[in-house]
Amino acid sequence: MSQGKFQMQKMLTRYGTILALIVLCAGFSFAVPGFLAGENGMNILRQIALLAVISEGFTMCLIVGELDLAFPHIASLSGALVAGLIFGGMAPLPAVLLSLATGLLFGFFSGLLVTKIGIPSLITTLATGIIAGGMVYMYTRGVSFYGQMPPSFLALGRGMVGPVPSLIFIMFVVVAVAQVFISKTRTGKYMQATGANQAASRLAGINTDRCKILALSLSGLAAAFTGILLTSRLGSANPEGASGFMMDAFASALLGMTVLSVGRANPFGTFIGALMIGVINNGMTLAGAPYYTQDIVKGLIILLSVTMTSLQAKRMAGN
């Protein structure tokens, strides 16, 4: 194979999903008038902000080779908890901190069960997710929380940072911090090594248990933060408020594994995956497509993207 062809295949492997996103946007721009308008672009970013934040936490688990099924339930619990505390008279800051600590503790507890007892993360987080789901119904008694919330708390989900909605600003900060943490810090590189080859990492002196506990803790923290932001955005809390994030977060992270590093989760890739999900949802809604077709199209695009990237990786490995 010529050097030029090899480089082209390498570029397609790393950036094929980004190219697919560009093609998708171009297609919607022809099919849907006003799709590329600045206001609609801002709407897409606002719509994916919460998805991107919660997906970044899930990505941390994938990086160390683990799964987290508890994050939507933790988000719902933390969102309900912060609302209940505020409506109960607590100031917004301590209410937010207690809710964040709840998510962090759930993730930390899951990490201990996975590393110290040896329960697979799939089973562990399924169980802790069920516990969190039960706790939110126990706390709310199955009803939504409505009431007047302080403007300082509502500003998290509804405010502006200059000309940019606060949710979009928070999303970019979370993605940037996650990417720098994973790619530039020693701990982040240890987490990548743990996910790539746990046995070799242990022989190299890396505390893989600590990396996994940290990853699951960060996933719980991100889930709790998402639940808080959702409550702030809506001005209310529902026991099932964050349940819809599960499949889209999975899709975002899996799509992200086809960006930059083939087969490896990374924060920037997850953001691109969330953006693709947002573009699909927004474009098809504006086109008047039935809601169920969005899931069909998302599934097909994920399969196509992963298949194309896998084939490119195999071709490169064979040359």
The answer to whether residue 114 is domain-embedded is yes
Can you give the residue range of the structural domain that contains 52?
Answer: 11-317
Q: Name the burial class of residue 240, with classes exposed (0-12), middle (13-18) and buried (19+) by CB atoms within 10 angstroms of its CB.
A: middle
pLDDT of residue 311 exceeding 70: no
The answer to whether residue 180 is domain-embedded is yes
pLDDT value, residue 9: 58
Per the CB < 8 A criterion, the answer to whether 167 and 43 are in contact is no
| Closest C-alpha to 76, from 232, 223, 222, 234 | 223
Cα(212)–Cα(27) distance, integer angstroms: 41
Condensed to tens digits (0 to 9), the pLDDT of residues 103-134 reads: 999 999 999 999 999 999 999 999 999 999 99
The answer to whether residue 94 is domain-embedded is yes
The answer to whether residue 152 is domain-embedded is yes
The answer to whether residue 131 is domain-embedded is yes
Number of domains in the chain: 1
Give me 313's structure tokens.
């990786």
Cα(277)–Cα(43) distance, integer angstroms: 13
SS (H, E, C) 169-219: HHHHHHHHHHHHHHHHCHHHHHHHHHHHCHHHHHHCCCCHHHHHHHHHHHH
pLDDT of residue 315 exceeding 70: no
Cα(99)–Cα(153) distance, integer angstroms: 13
The answer to whether residue 6 is domain-embedded is no
Q: Which amino acid is at 266?
A: N
The answer to whether residue 84 is domain-embedded is yes
Helix, strand, coil in percent for the chain, rounding step 5: 80, 5, 20
The answer to whether residue 1 is domain-embedded is no
pLDDT value, residue 227: 97
Residue 106 belongs to domain with CATH number = 1.10.3470
| Closest C-alpha to 137, from 89, 73, 90 | 73
What mean pLDDT, rounded, does the chain reach?
Answer: 89
